[in-house]
């Protein structure tokens, strides 16, 4: 990273994520562990804080990248100033009660379940019992016609996949045919943007970006359920809980992050492709960066916001902002920073939304050699490799449509570095001499290409996740620490009121009786107390024993 | 109101300006800082409510467990518990390290496993014991009237009307809740009655894949073994057993752990979709690419793995063998003929059978490959005539004489072989070929199956001992069509010759893979292997393994690896991961599950022939096995039905049979006991006199039906039952959708009795233990609620990583669920009570086949059957099974189940031919577990809890108990000689010890042991056969080397002595006829059932999370072209129909699918969203509704070296990949 010459503005710290799509196997473990942990509750059945999309595909909710339709993110107005695409405040206020840019349940999907009970309780009949599908919304029998992952693994056929907004915006026609088939997976969570449009459009001020780590959250008390955030978020990563009437979204697992633990989606990622780390950035520059006129400059502009934690001036600014030493150290060891700014292999998702997203992606490399050898070249020769990156099975323009507002150059550069790493390491693997030209060819040296290899290939746990534990912003550093155990204060952990100690368990809230709602299933459990039916009945209720 | 757009825009602009001014005023009123552009405000003065998420995340405890599902994951999970409720799970990350310079195991897992906790409280959870209502009514009435459970069971099952009533109700609902006592009483009564009336071999247990929960498996299998009931094999039955592995390696399956993919420099994923089916391991493949590994995917569809591939070859399904044969052609040509790669040549001489001598037999003016030339043939080593027949010879180039090298099977079991069973060449220079400049040869007929005629290719020949002899290598070149100067024959001109096998151009005509791509792949493969000394790996999966002829496909793959020296090398070799989960602590599990500590031998039966006979699928099989023979065959099979060959195999003692005889083995045992004769002598005489008959020759006689079947840890009916509708019809007597016609008179077996009316409902009792509803529990008469994997203690291991770890209960089994351990002990207790006065002590005549890794594998020298029915003298252990009379104390079954018996110490524990004596371990167990006070097991160590069972498994296995491993290596050192280095290996492992609590704390790496062929150490990954290559220990084969050549008569008959290409079966010929209309609105397609992304077999398949991420019910993937041809759009309902049954599902249309092939992912059950079919009006079938069993004769061979039976080692596969079906769009209105 080049040393800064201009003075540093307000230095902020952000816990950011990089996903290496080149390693993603599309297994959806992240989606399932996230859903199990956070959203298998009534009101959020349809919500997936983390989902994985097969690309090309329409994604979830359907066609969410079509901002002509959904009006998410920011745009520049006639005077070159940032305004929410959904319009100015007045326009938004005018639409509070009828927001046409809100995805419907059909765009997400209508969650369903099955008549599972019939499998064991069916009376003697004519045929085998089967559990037919039922809507989880109204309890009526339903036919499954759409889901959160409908086009998984290219399901749906070319006609359906042609509805992919990124594909539609490409200049070249892409053939969706057997021989030319290509796909990759795109796991998505909230981007925890530097310039979050969801926060900007909330009429109640319920959305906020935490100062200490940049996590964007919904204050469950302030939220009034206007749902402007749902349409305002161009990534469609804010959801409306139809049971509580409030917005919910990915929390970056802050109870874990605060404890120095990776998010659930990261730690459970069996592809080992997620990285979490601290980035320091200049908050005063973010607005300017988000407003650069040419959307193809947004990637570089955002890079320019990031601060070098080895720069003494940055360190001073960070300390001034109350960022603890451990966080600055973490920023120095940040794998996310390495992938984004040092090796420049990670790219932002849809920078053209101008939200300055903070979950970045290493684009998928493969397969290259196939295309090369078809054209009669030796795919193992690095010289050929770089010349042919644009013959990738995955069209470069498609990736550029996702990561660089259509500019293929940064994508190509990232892929070349990955390809060079493979070529460099293959020589070592086969016991041949290193060839420094390979690294030089992509603007790196042997040491850095091997360090990048270490981070991408070995990806040891403590190098993937460099997360300092949480700190309190503006904590009074001179306060009297007291003379006892930190747990001993009134209301501290383990300090119970006499009454509360013997209180009966809290009953599950909000589970109406009868029909599907009464069934025993974690979907309608709010995480508190002992919901009815989860346990064997006590005493005689159990019957025959 | 209509507002002009321009007006509205202007109004909005004005409003925005006003709003911004307001915001600026607001800013000045607040103290909080803002960004200079007023974009953001920093507030620390407001409190926010983020407690809901903190509360949600809070939990009381985290318990380590794993998933006992039939996958190779064996991942370690954190199970979160809150207020006594299991809430969710995430992965553990604390595995043993793989090494400083490698990616680690963490965080193994997959979306299926991540959704497991859903089952705990789901509505499909089985919470109470249930019984079929109709049966229960009958039972209660009879029980009350007769006052005796056993008499009641006898009456109901003996009354045809009552049988019909409850059997025809199977699968139609009507399960009612009952108490545990009654449930166990019914089950125990059924067992007691069946054993008394028909014999213990009419009872059976089915529980597959022991590694996925060893104690739960072992406790039930132990119960079955104590009562004398057979356990039905699963690995061959699932078609996951790669028959080529016993054939080539003499080993069931031994493969590298996934961490060893990292070591490979070239990785082929061949029919294996690693991201989907080996999800926790896939990262190795992704990461090894960064190390410069090249990845080639061979798959007919654009599979998930293809995303990672440098190259994608997409042959037509089932033609993979042709690609591999062509690659072999290139490698042989370029690395053995045009040039000799020193590493390759050196490797094949020492570690394969290529230099061994084969005799040529004259046939029709040419020659055909015959038998291995042995010491017996040549009259060498006449001092031990019996062993000489098992000593193949090779030619020593130095002396020019035929010699017997060390390490052949003749050295393994003979006295003279002590210290000689090793691969030291001892100064011999094996001659690979007889070809020399200016030399010539004789024309040999080599089979091919893509045209009717054989190929005539010359091989160089020498006369030795008056016989025309050549080498396996010379035959291999002829087989692969690799020409050498001077040899006569019809050779391919060059790689572009598409008329002759096995050129790259030839394969293109079959597979559609460009010849150039195959040449390139072969060269890269070989060059990389040469450069890295064997670090090329082929991950081979079910896509190439579930075919009828998969053994030939696999042998053509293995040829590539053997020729290039990749096997027995880290980073190289075959990586077959199909249903293979390795019980790392093998010896202990084996001992306990077979109850070998109390009674020997146990009954083990091969699954495929068992189900083939008992589900009457043989009645629909009209195929003459002679049609499978090669043009070079002798006509042995002409006119013979597969069931005839099954019966012959059983009567020769090749394959086991259950039941064995038409009589109750307890009656036979009593007669033997009373006669005072040796059991074998007695049985041979009775058979010869015709007084004793094999049950397999009349499987439809009620005396020979299986009567009681217990299924646990399994979903036999929904998952693995190939020919599913025939299971329903004949085994269960339920309704079915099959419309196949029985074989016509001319196509029926000669040696089996034919009953005009086929029996329906052979089984008296189907007993199922499960925690969820499946097709098996739907069909079962008794359903017992089992504990889940988060509710019990157990052990798990797999072949994908070298550690063992524990299941632990996060909660106790809720409702009335019980662990399998508790259930079988409860059953045994009730059984033992009811056995008093009814069974008491009995003598059981047990017939056991000749077994691999025992001296029994030398039953039939030369591999020529000598059928006693054709006049050869009947000899037990030669051309008859081995007979033993076992004394069974039936009332003592429960006591013995719960204690460690004395036989392990007295007679040792034998694994793969090595016997170790666990006397110190028995003492240790007595101290650790306590001993039994009284009764039949008095003084013996207790095994009365699941924890003690786990402890015993670990204590009695070499991988987890170094003392036993060391003892085993010492025994090996004696057999292999001092040069083997086993003595020092023994010392390196002696101190290792893993106890159960270690495995509860975190996954623990196991150690090297004689139980496995690879070495374990912290600084290296597990790779198979490294013991063989590094310690020069022979493979467990005839030559002691890896085999290209198999000289058994039946192999020759099928033309499969060498690797060969055999196309998928012609279904028109074998599927039989039925009322299946094929019209303009239908397509006929290849019907493949690959493993699913959203389930592990049937497990998770109905899980709501998985169904939500998938399509919410059964689907069939089809190509755009096929869908268009029949007017099908994505998500339309379609029907797949063939004579075997009907499947109804929705279509997923995708351009990733090739035209002419559909995928119905394995196992999409009837449970969820399956309407009635348009074809029959009944519920649609499972994926196996369209399949039917077909038996490959060569899988029935026994008593011949590595071609010998052992459970889950050798036996016919229940293959299903060759199926075809008609697909059409159905009415879109569906009824359930």
Residues A152 and A239 in one domain: yes
For B76, nearest residue in chain A (alpha carbons): A268
Residues A341 and A460 in one domain: yes
Residues A226 and A337 in one domain: no
Q: For A429, which of B118, B265, B1105 is closest by C-beta distance?
A: B265
Q: Does B253 reach chain A within 8 Å, measured CB to CB?
A: no
Q: What is the dihedral of CA A520, A526, A530, A536, to 10 degrees?
A: 10
Q: Look at residue A411 and tell me if it is in a domain.
A: yes
CB contact under 8 A, A527 and B55: yes
Query: How does pLDDT run across B1184-1229, given as a tens digit for each residue?
Result: 999 999 999 999 999 999 999 999 999 999 999 999 999 999 999 9
Instruction: Give the distance from residue A209's alpha carbon to the nearest chain B alpha carbon, in angstroms.
Output: 9
Write out chain B residues lying below 8 Å of A533, CB-based. 121
Q: Is the pLDDT of residue B799 over 60?
A: yes
Determine the pLDDT at residue B11.
52
Question: Hey, which of A483-487, B452-456, B1157-1161 has the most confident mean pLDDT?
Answer: B1157-1161
Q: What is the dihedral of CA B157, B160, B162, B164, to 10 degrees?
A: 110
Instruction: Give the integer Cα–Cα distance in Å for A46 and A108.
Output: 7
CB contact under 8 A, A123 and B773: no
Q: Does B1166 reach chain A within 8 Å, measured CB to CB?
A: yes
Q: How many CB pairs under 8 A join A and B?
A: 425
Q: Is the pLDDT of residue A203 over 70?
A: yes
Q: Look at residue A130 and tell me if it is in a domain.
A: no
Residues A225 and A364 in one domain: no
Q: Does B42 reach chain A within 8 Å, measured CB to CB?
A: yes
Instruction: Give the integer Cα–Cα distance in Å for B267 and A379.
Output: 16
- Which pLDDT band, with edges at 50, 70 and 90, does A100 fall under? confident
Residue among B631, B635, B636, B633 nearest B449 (CA): B631
Q: For B1152, which of A125, A153, A368 is closest by C-beta distance?
A: A153
Query: How does pLDDT run across A154-180, given as a tens digit for each residue?
Result: 999 899 999 999 999 987 778 889 988
Instruction: Give the distance from residue A405's alpha carbon to the nearest chain B alpha carbon, in angstroms.
Output: 23
Write out chain A residues lying below 8 Å of B55, CB-based. 527-528
> CA end-to-end span of chain A, whole Å?
71
**Among candidate residues A449, A466, A483, the one where a domain is terminated:** A466
Query: How does pLDDT run across A110-146, given as a tens digit for each residue?
Result: 999 999 999 999 999 999 999 999 999 899 999 999 9
Residues A363 and A253 in one domain: no
**How much of chain B, in percent, has pLDDT values that exceed 70?**
97
Residues A253 and A361 in one domain: no
Determine the pLDDT at residue B1073.
55
For A47, nearest residue in chain B (alpha carbons): B1108
- Which pLDDT band, with edges at 50, 70 and 90, does B40 fall under? confident
Query: How does pLDDT run across B856-868, given as a tens digit for each residue?
Result: 999 999 999 999 9
Residues A257 and A342 in one domain: no
CB contact under 8 A, B1153 and A256: no
Query: How does pLDDT run across A331-380, given as a tens digit for each residue?
Result: 999 999 999 999 999 999 999 999 999 999 999 986 777 777 766 677 66
CATH of the domain at A211: 3.30.70.20
Determine the pLDDT at residue B624.
95
Query: How does pLDDT run across B1115-1128, given as a tens digit for each residue?
Result: 999 999 999 999 99
Q: Look at residue A134 and tell me if it is in a domain.
A: no
Q: Cβ of B909: how many Cβ atoms within 10 Å?
A: 24
3-state secondary structure of B290: helix
Q: For B123, which of A89, A521, A525 is closest by C-beta distance?
A: A521
Q: Does B29 reach chain A within 8 Å, measured CB to CB?
A: no
Stretch 87-106 of chain A: residues touching chain B, C-beta under 8 Å: 87-91
CB contact under 8 A, A458 and B180: no
Q: Is the pLDDT of residue B266 over 60?
A: yes
Residues A173 and A259 in one domain: yes
Determine the structural domain holding residue A355 and report its residue range: 296-303+322-466
Determine the pLDDT at residue A480.
54
Residues A357 and A439 in one domain: yes
Q: Is-contact A269 A276, C-beta < 8 A? A: no
Stretch 304-363 of chain A: residues touching chain B, C-beta under 8 Å: none
Query: How does pLDDT run across B593-650, given as a tens digit for each residue?
Result: 999 999 999 999 999 999 999 999 999 999 999 999 999 999 999 999 999 999 999 9
Residues A206 and A352 in one domain: no
Q: For B173, which of A129, A255, A525 is closest by C-beta distance?
A: A129
Residues A352 and A257 in one domain: no
Q: Is-contact B970 B983, C-beta < 8 A? A: yes
3-state secondary structure B395-415: EECCCCEEECCCCCHHHHHCH
Burial of B838 (0-12, 13-18, 19+ CB in 10 A): middle
Write out chain A residues lying below 8 Å of B174, CB-based. 122-125
Strand partners, B401: B396
What is the count of structural domains for chain A? 2
Q: Does A269 reach chain B within 8 Å, measured CB to CB?
A: yes
DSSP string, B137-204: HHHHHHHHHHS-HHHHHHHHHH-HHHHHHHHTTTTSS-EEE--HHHHHHHHHHHHHHHHHHT-GGGEE
Instruction: Give the integer Cα–Cα distance in Å for B562 and B571.
Output: 14
Determine the pLDDT at residue B4.
43
Instruction: Give the distance from residue A83's alpha carbon to the nearest chain B alpha carbon, in angstroms.
Output: 10
Angle of helix B820-835 relative to helix B214-227, nearest 10 degrees, comes to 10
Strand partners, A248: A239
For B291, nearest residue in chain A (alpha carbons): A425
For B1093, nearest residue in chain A (alpha carbons): A27
Write out chain A residues lying below 8 Å of B265, CB-based. 426, 429-430
Instruction: Give the integer Cα–Cα distance in Å for B89 and B679.
Output: 56
Q: What is the dihedral of CA B652, B657, B663, B669, to 10 degrees?
A: 80
Pick from A6, A22, A41, A119 the residue to mutate for testing the B interface (most B CBs within 10 Å).
A119
**How much of chain B, in percent, has pLDDT values that exceed 90?**
93
Write out chain B residues lying below 8 Å of A542, CB-based. 815-816
| Average pLDDT of chain B to the nearest whole number | 95
Q: For A32, which of B111, B169, B1179 is closest by C-beta distance?
A: B111
- Which pLDDT band, with edges at 50, 70 and 90, does A392 fall under? confident
CB contact under 8 A, A272 and B55: no
In which element (H, E) is residue B608 found? helix B607-614
**Among candidate residues A438, A466, A494, the one where a domain is terminated:** A466
**How much of chain A, in percent, has pLDDT values that exceed 70?**
84
| Average pLDDT of chain A to the nearest whole number | 87
Residues A246 and A335 in one domain: no
Query: How does pLDDT run across B675-719, given as a tens digit for each residue?
Result: 999 999 999 999 999 999 999 999 999 999 999 999 999 999 999
Write out chain A residues lying below 8 Å of B11, CB-based. 90
Q: Look at residue A1 and tell me if it is in a domain.
A: no
Q: Look at residue A15 and tell me if it is in a domain.
A: no
- Which pLDDT band, with edges at 50, 70 and 90, does B224 fall under? very high
Q: Is-contact B124 B773, C-beta < 8 A? A: yes
Q: Is the pLDDT of residue A544 over 90?
A: no
Q: Look at residue A540 and tell me if it is in a domain.
A: no
Instruction: Give the distance from residue A36's alpha carbon to the nearest chain B alpha carbon, in angstroms.
Output: 6
CATH of the domain at A345: 1.10.3650.10
Q: Is the pLDDT of residue B12 over 80?
A: no
**How much of chain A, in percent, has pLDDT values that exceed 90?**
74
Write out chain A residues lying below 8 Å of B1110, CB-based. 147, 149, 152
DSSP-derived secondary structure letter, A14: E
Q: Is the pLDDT of residue A514 over 50?
A: no
Q: Look at residue A489 and tell me if it is in a domain.
A: no
Residue among B1145, B1129, B1232, B1176 nearest A142 (CA): B1232
Instruction: Give the integer Cα–Cα distance in Å for B2 and A537.
Output: 63
Return the structure tokens found at A207.
């959305």
DSSP string, A82-138: EEETT--HHHHHHTTT--TTSPPHHHH---EEE-TTHHHHPPS-SS---B-EEETTT
- What's the pTM value of the predicted model, to 2 decimals? 0.94
For B1155, nearest residue in chain A (alpha carbons): A178
Query: How does pLDDT run across B102-146, given as a tens digit for each residue?
Result: 999 999 999 999 999 999 999 999 999 999 999 999 999 999 999
**Among candidate residues A446, A466, A486, the one where a domain is terminated:** A466
Q: Is the pLDDT of residue A509 over 60?
A: no
3-state secondary structure of B958: coil
Q: Look at residue A518 and tell me if it is in a domain.
A: no
């Amino acid at each position: 990273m080049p040393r800064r010459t201009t003075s540093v503005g307000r230095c902020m710290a952000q816990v950011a994520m990089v996903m290496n799509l080149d390693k993603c196997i599309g297994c959806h473990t992240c989606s399932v562990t996230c859903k199990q942990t956070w959203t298998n509750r009534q009101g959020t059945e349809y919500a997936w804080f983390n989902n994985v999309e097969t690309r090309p595909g329409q994604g979830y909710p359907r066609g969410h990248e079509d901002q002509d339709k959904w009006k998410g993110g920011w745009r520049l107005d006639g005077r070159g100033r940032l305004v929410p695409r959904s319009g100015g405040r007045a326009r938004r206020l005018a639409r509070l009660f009828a927001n046409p840019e809100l995805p419907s349940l059909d765009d997400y999907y209508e969650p369903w379940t099955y008549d599972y009970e019939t499998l064991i309780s069916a009376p003697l009949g004519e045929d085998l019992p089967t559990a037919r599908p039922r809507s989880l919304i109204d309890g009526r029998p339903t036919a499954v016609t759409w889901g959160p992952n409908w086009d998984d693994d290219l399901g749906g056929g070319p006609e359906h996949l042609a509805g992919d907004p990124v594909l539609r915006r490409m200049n070249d026609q892409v053939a969706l045919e057997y021989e030319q088939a290509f796909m990759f997976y795109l796991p998505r969570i909230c981007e925890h943007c530097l310039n979050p449009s969801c926060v900007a459009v909330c009429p109640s001020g319920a959305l906020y970006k935490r100062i200490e780590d940049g996590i964007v959250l919904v204050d469950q008390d302030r939220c009034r359920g206007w749902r402007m955030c749902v349409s305002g978020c161009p990534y469609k990563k804010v959801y409306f809980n139809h049971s509580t009437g409030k917005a919910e979204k990915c929390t970056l697992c802050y109870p874990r992050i605060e404890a120095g633990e990776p998010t659930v989606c990261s730690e459970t990622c069996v592809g080992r492709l997620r990285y979490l780390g601290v980035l320091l950035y200049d908050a005063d520059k973010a607005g300017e960066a988000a407003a650069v006129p040419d959307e193809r400059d947004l990637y570089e502009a955002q890079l320019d916001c990031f601060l070098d934690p080895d720069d003494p001036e940055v360190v001073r600014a960070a300390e001034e902002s109350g960022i603890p030493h451990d966080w600055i150290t973490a920023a120095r060891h940040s794998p996310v920073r390495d992938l984004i700014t040092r090796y420049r292999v990670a790219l932002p998702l849809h920078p053209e939304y101008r939200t300055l997203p903070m979950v970045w992606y290493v684009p998928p490399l493969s397969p290259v050699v196939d295309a090369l050898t078809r054209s009669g070249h030796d795919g193992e020769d690095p010289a050929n490799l770089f010349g042919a990156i644009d013959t990738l099975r995955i069209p470069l323009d498609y990736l550029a449509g996702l990561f660089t507002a259509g500019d293929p150059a940064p994508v190509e550069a990232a892929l070349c570095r990955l390809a060079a790493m493979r070529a460099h390491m293959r020589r070592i693997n086969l016991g041949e001499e290193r060839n420094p030209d390979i690294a030089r060819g992509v603007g790196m040296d042997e040491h850095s290409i091997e360090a990048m290899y270490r981070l991408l290939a070995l990806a040891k746990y403590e190098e993937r996740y460099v997360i300092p534990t949480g700190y309190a912003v503006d904590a009074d550093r001179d306060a009297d620490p007291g003379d006892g155990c930190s747990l001993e204060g009134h209301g501290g952990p383990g300090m119970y009121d006499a009454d509360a100690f013997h209180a009966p368990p809290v009953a599950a809230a909000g589970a109406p009786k009868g029909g599907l709602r009464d069934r025993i299933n974690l979907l309608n459990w709010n995480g508190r107390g002992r919901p009815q039916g989860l346990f064997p009945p006590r005493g005689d209720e159990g019957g025959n024993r | 109101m209509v507002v002009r757009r321009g007006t509205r825009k202007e109004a909005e602009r004005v409003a925005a300006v006003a709003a911004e001014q307001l915001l600026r005023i607001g800013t000045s009123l607040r103290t909080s800082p803002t960004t200079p552009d007023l974009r953001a405000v920093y507030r620390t003065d407001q409190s926010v409510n983020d407690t809901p998420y903190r509360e949600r995340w809070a939990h009381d405890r985290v318990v380590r467990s794993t998933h006992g599902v039939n996958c190779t994951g064996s991942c370690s999970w954190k199970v979160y518990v809150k207020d006594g409720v299991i809430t969710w799970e995430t992965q553990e990350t604390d595995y043993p390290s793989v090494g400083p310079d490698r990616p680690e195991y963490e965080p193994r897992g997959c979306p299926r496993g991540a959704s497991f906790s859903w089952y705990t409280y789901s509505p499909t959870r089985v919470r109470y014991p249930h019984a079929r209502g109709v049966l229960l009514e009958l039972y209660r009435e009879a029980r009350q009237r007769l006052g005796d459970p056993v008499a009641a069971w006898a009456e109901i099952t003996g009354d045809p009307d009552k049988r019909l009533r409850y059997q025809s109700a199977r699968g139609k609902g009507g399960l009612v809740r009952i108490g545990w006592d009654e449930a166990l009483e019914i089950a125990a009564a059924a067992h007691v009655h069946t054993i008394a009336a028909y014999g213990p071999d009419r009872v059976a247990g089915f529980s597959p894949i022991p590694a996925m929960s060893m104690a739960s498996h072992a406790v039930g299998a132990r119960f079955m073994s104590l009562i004398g009931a057979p356990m039905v094999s699963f690995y061959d039955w699932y078609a996951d057993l790669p028959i080529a592995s016993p054939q080539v390696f003499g080993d069931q399956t031994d493969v590298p752990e996934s961490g060893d993919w990292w070591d490979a420099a070239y990785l082929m994923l061949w029919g294996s979709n690693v991201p989907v089916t080996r999800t926790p391991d896939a990262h190795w493949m992704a990461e090894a690419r960064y190390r410069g590994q090249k990845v080639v995917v061979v798959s007919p569809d654009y599979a998930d793995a293809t995303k990672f591939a440098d190259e994608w070859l997409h042959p037509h399904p089932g033609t993979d063998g042709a690609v591999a044969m062509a690659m072999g052609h290139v490698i042989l040509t370029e690395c053995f003929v045009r040039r000799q790669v020193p590493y390759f040549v050196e490797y094949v001489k020492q570690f394969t059978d290529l230099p061994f001598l084969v005799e040529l037999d004259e046939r029709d003016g040419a020659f055909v490959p015959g038998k291995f030339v042995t010491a017996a043939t040549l009259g060498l080593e006449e001092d031990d005539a019996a062993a000489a027949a098992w000593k193949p010879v090779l030619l020593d180039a130095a002396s020019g004489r035929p010699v017997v090298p060390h390490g052949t099977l003749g050295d393994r079991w003979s006295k003279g072989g002590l210290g000689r069973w090793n691969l030291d060449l001892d100064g011999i220079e094996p001659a690979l070929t007889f070809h020399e400049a200016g030399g010539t040869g004789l024309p040999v007929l080599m089979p091919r199956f893509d045209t009717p005629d054989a190929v005539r290719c010359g091989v160089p020949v020498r006369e030795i001992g008056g016989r025309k002899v050549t080498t396996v290598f010379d035959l291999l070149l002829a087989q692969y069509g690799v020409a050498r100067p001077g040899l006569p024959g019809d050779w391919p001109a060059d790689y572009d010759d598409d008329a002759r096998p096995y050129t790259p151009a030839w394969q293109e005509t079959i597979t559609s893979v460009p010849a150039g791509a195959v040449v390139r792949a072969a060269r890269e493969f070989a060059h990389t292997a040469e450069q890295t000394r064997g670090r090329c790996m082929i991950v081979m999966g079910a896509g190439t393994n579930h075919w009828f002829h998969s053994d030939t496909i696999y042998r053509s793959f293995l040829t590539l690896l053997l020729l290039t020296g990749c096997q027995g090398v880290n980073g190289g070799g075959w990586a077959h991961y199909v249903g293979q989960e390795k019980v790392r602590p093998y010896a202990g599990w084996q001992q306990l599950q077979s109850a070998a500590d109390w009674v020997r031998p146990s009954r083990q039966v091969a699954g495929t022939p068992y189900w083939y006979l008992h589900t009457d699928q043989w009645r629909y099989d009209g195929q003459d096995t002679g049609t499978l023979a090669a043009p070079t065959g002798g006509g042995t099979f002409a006119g013979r039905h597969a069931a005839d060959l099954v019966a012959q195999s059983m009567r020769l003692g090749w394959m086991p049979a259950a039941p064995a005889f038409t009589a109750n083995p307890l009656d036979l045992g009593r007669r033997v006991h009373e006669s005072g004769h040796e059991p074998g002598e007695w049985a041979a005489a009775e058979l010869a006199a015709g007084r004793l008959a094999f049950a397999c020759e009349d499987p439809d006689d009620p005396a020979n039906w299986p009567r009681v079947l217990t299924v646990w840890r399994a979903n036999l009916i929904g998952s693995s039952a190939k020919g599913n509708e025939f299971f329903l019809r004949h085994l269960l007597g339920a309704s079915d959708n099959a419309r196949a016609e029985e074989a016509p008179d001319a196509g029926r077996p000669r040696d089996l009795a034919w009953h005009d009316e086929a029996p329906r409902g052979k089984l008296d009792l189907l007993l199922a233990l499960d925690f969820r509803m499946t097709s098996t529990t739907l069909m079962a008469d008794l359903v017992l609620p089992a504990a889940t994997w988060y509710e019990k203690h157990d052990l798990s291991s797999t072949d994908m990583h070298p550690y063992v770890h524990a299941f632990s209960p996060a909660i106790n089994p809720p409702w009335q669920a019980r662990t399998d351990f508790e259930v079988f002990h409860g059953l045994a207790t009730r059984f033992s009570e009811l056995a008093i006065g009814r069974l008491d002590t009995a003598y059981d005549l047990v017939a056991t086949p000749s077994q691999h890794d025992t001296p029994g594998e030398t039953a039939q020298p030369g591999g020529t059957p000598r059928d006693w029915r054709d006049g050869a003298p009947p000899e037990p252990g030669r051309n008859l099974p081995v007979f033993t009379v076992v004394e069974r104390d039936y009332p003592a079954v429960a006591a013995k189940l719960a204690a460690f018996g004395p036989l392990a110490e007295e007679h040792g524990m034998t694994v793969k031919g090595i016997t170790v004596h666990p006397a110190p371990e028995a003492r240790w167990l007595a101290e650790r577990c306590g001993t039994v006070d009284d009764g039949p097991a008095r003084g013996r160590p207790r095994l009365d809890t699941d924890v003690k069972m786990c402890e015993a498994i670990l204590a009695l296995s070499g991988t987890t108990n170094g003392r036993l491993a060391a003892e085993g290596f010492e025994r090996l050192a004696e057999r292999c000689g001092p040069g083997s280095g086993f003595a020092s290996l023994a010392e390196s492992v002696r101190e290792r010890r893993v106890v159960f609590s270690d495995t509860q704390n975190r996954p623990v790496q196991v150690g090297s042991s004689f139980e496995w062929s690879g070495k374990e150490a912290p600084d290296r990954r597990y790779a198979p056969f490294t013991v063989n290559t590094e310690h020069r220990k022979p493979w467990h084969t005839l030559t002691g080397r890896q085999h290209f050549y198999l000289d058994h008569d039946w192999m020759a008959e099928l033309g499969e002595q060498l690797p060969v290409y055999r196309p998928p079966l012609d279904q028109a010929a074998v599927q039989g006829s039925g009322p299946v209309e094929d019209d303009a609105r239908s397509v006929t397609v290849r019907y493949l059932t690959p493993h699913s992304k959203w389930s592990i077999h049937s497990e998770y398949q109905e899980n709501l999370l998985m169904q939500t991420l998938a399509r919410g019910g059964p689907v069939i993937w089809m190509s755009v072209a096929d869908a268009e041809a029949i007017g099908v759009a994505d998500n339309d309902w379609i029907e797949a129909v063939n004579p075997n049954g009907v499947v109804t599902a929705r279509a997923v249309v995708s351009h990733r699918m090739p035209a002419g092939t559909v995928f119905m992912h394995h196992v999409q059950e009837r449970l969820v969203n399956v309407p009635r079919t348009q074809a029959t009006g009944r519920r649609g079938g499972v994926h196996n509704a369209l399949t039917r069993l077909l038996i490959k004769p060569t899988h029935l061979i026994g008593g011949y070296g590595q071609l010998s039976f052992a459970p889950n080692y050798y036996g016919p596969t229940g293959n299903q990949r060759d199926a075809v079906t008609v697909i059409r769009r159905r009415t879109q209105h569906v009824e359930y």
